[in-house]
Structure 1
């Protein structure tokens, strides 16, 4: 039993080869502990040699006193292997124990105790004992790889039958039990989990041929080197200011990860992470900078490192712009933040690449002659401006156009009182659409705008003011750029309406009246035409709507032609006809020629123009005769009249629908009157005086 612990009883079985030998198996002992062994007979429980306490280099023999008187006890120790014998004499009155020192560790000894009294000796009591084998020296454990441990030792003094190497985990569970020869001082433990703490015990075994096995052991706790993380990746995820590190945790145990990020000339940034963390994001980094990353797996004071490197995406240039004029293409920009190495510029026309150039880091603008590029007016060109840092780049885009050309041969196609139409030839190059602007130059009214497709070649504006000046601008548009051509045009002045010609019962004058023309007008030209000849040509202000013509020919047919004038432009003519009243006949002569039923009438032709004459004979209010007389035969005869009666005679000058009358009275001769007659003529009345 172990002093200080409770006794443990173990049954010992007789060895079949030797009836005097018993084997006792005692388990669950603590290495390096001194135990006291007491042997009690199973038959009579007589005490014999009771206890042997062993050490690595000594034995202490204890026994029970013999019955009766004993002078002394002779204790003999024999080395089974070498035959060396050592004896001790112990007085009978002394304590029943004897110690042997300087023994060989791991050696089997035969022990006998002989009781002597006088010249008498009792039968000796025998037992065997083994000195504890010595522990190995200089035990060392090292990680030879991620999943193996190397164990190295030196044998201790004394005898050794074999070595056992025991490997247990943190919970004491036995993982390996390896028996090695007594000449082995090194072994390698494979197939372990990286980074896992292990307890390595080296046990020295030594025993006699017939003795129980004794053990002397040496114990060392050690951890294998943790495996490095795998699949270590550092990714910028398209960011200019952050990096994301990710990895796969190693097999085996890891106490923690140490993640370190650094760049040249900067203080490293370090994070300690739990073993279940497999990614980490670093923020607030510099665009375009190259960073180094290490991840250390730590376990039991040991560590393994994985390294990689990554780079943040370089920043884009700022205020990037492109302009194109008639001579050059200009790109300008402001430098990006952070680190970069150079720029590259790719100019494209759709899928076609016009140029691809590398630009120095120090540059702030790029000028290219458009003659070398063959740019087309109005076409959109795109520039890809890349900032390069390592294998990474960040591209900004911009676009611009060479201004489109204006339309060609812009002309006025048609103009009337209320509309204007222009046409043109399409320009050289490309364009998206045409914008046609109509501007009222006189009144500065808002522009009228038409947006036409790129295939259009003409445009018409309707509902315009007559006689007005307009500017028509045709703008060629391509993207946000445009170019234009323009012309000035007038709508035709509007003609007057409601033109009427009045004679106002006058034989020598006419008056023309009209409604003012719509729109704008400066003046009116008024022509008086007779027989296709212009008799008079007058101009009146634009706000005048009437005019009179004097000293005209009586009964004549005239045409009045009115034309609106605006800035030298003339309207359609408005024509109306008019006629002066015909002149009355003169020098009317009436005679009965001495007859009682007869009257003859004649006159001088009326001044001016006459279509015919109408002569009417009436008796009081009753018309008796109405004769149409040719203008070439100014006279007529009335027969079958009543003698002595007074008749009214009307001679009318006819010209068109106008009339002018001359009246006269005449009496037929009465039958009883003499032939003598007195005639009085006047232009309006004829008095006939007859003698009685």
Structure 2
């Protein structure tokens, strides 16, 4: 195929005369004459009335070039034949000859032969899809003539219908192509980073004046467009994309008044994860999970429950508008990990947190000597009022008792009474339940480059304070203790763009809960300068 891209060959040639010129003589003006042509080559004869002329020959189509081969014509050497090959069919080229002797410039034109249709189909009757065979004849009184477009430039087609019996003919002229083949991008690439999309493509062959790039939201049908010069970098970008959305990207290359067919690519943004995920113990056998819906689009929600070893115990699918779930049938006092998964356009995002089913208190004892009928186990608040919380009557074989659904961070007294007939004997013990850990911990910069704010949901039950640690590069750089009624804390004078980890622990009379951990990064300082190619 012909490349329309740079200046044609510069060709030098010279001839001399046998007579000696004593005066200035005629100038070196070249006579350029096309003596033969084909669909991809022409032969040009170059002559001149001047003596000892030396020419450079340029053949030009826009800025395209092709090699030529020249040789003297006959023994006189007064003419040169140049063969120029690798041309486009049906195309006009400008020829320019420049005299190296006196700078005289001469012009001429040549045109290659057009190429006829590669296939011709005849169809009688209404037009219909035709096979690849050269001729197709069907019954009817109407004739449809069709052909495959040839390569190169065609200004028009002359179509003739001849009656072979009478010799009569009917002719019509059909307009051909108006220029070179339409340019188009060879391949299209998209790269997503957060809510930004980079679109890039491989440059096509031939001339391109500009690219029209369109981003279409396939859900709403809304479109955003940008135009990139053909000489610029073959990429552009779009920001502020909607999470959970399928996008269609189209690139159209244009040259002059011609445009290529669009080149398409599909891409999708992942859905937002849920915000404010919190888990609270509803009972000794259940956990309640709540969250806020994130921005963008979402098709489904799933709640996953795993045990400490990571084994999946529950997988519940909910409507995309759901903001809570109840997980029951659990073991008392057992740690679990809860993950809420958002799904859209085949992609997923998730948020996880850990929690423990409602606090329990267990007491164990050794069996007494002798004989006995059974045991009575009494649970009281360890206060002056000694309010009874729960009571159990157990058989003679019992050696332990567990009380569920009690308050985290509370102090209790357990009394075990041995019963034998009308006689009894008691023993008591006082213990604290472990304080509950906080939920929904988040560490965010709120748009700041040098500060972070930690927020959490208050721990249920009794507590005295929270211990809050700020960690950077495995070193504790802040160690704060805040009152039980505080649920947020800000950290100042931090490094821009740095990653930090916050650790919150609930404290009750020296007893501590399990740690809750979250990570966050300070904002980056804006760089001086401008950005390009983003919409």
Report the TM range for the smaller structure's normalisation. Answer: 0.3 to 0.5
The structure whose Rg is larger is 1
TM-score when scaled to structure 2? Answer: 0.41
Please give the TM-score of this superposition, normalised by the length of structure 1: 0.32
Which is bigger in relative contact order (C-alpha 8 A, separation at least 6)? 2
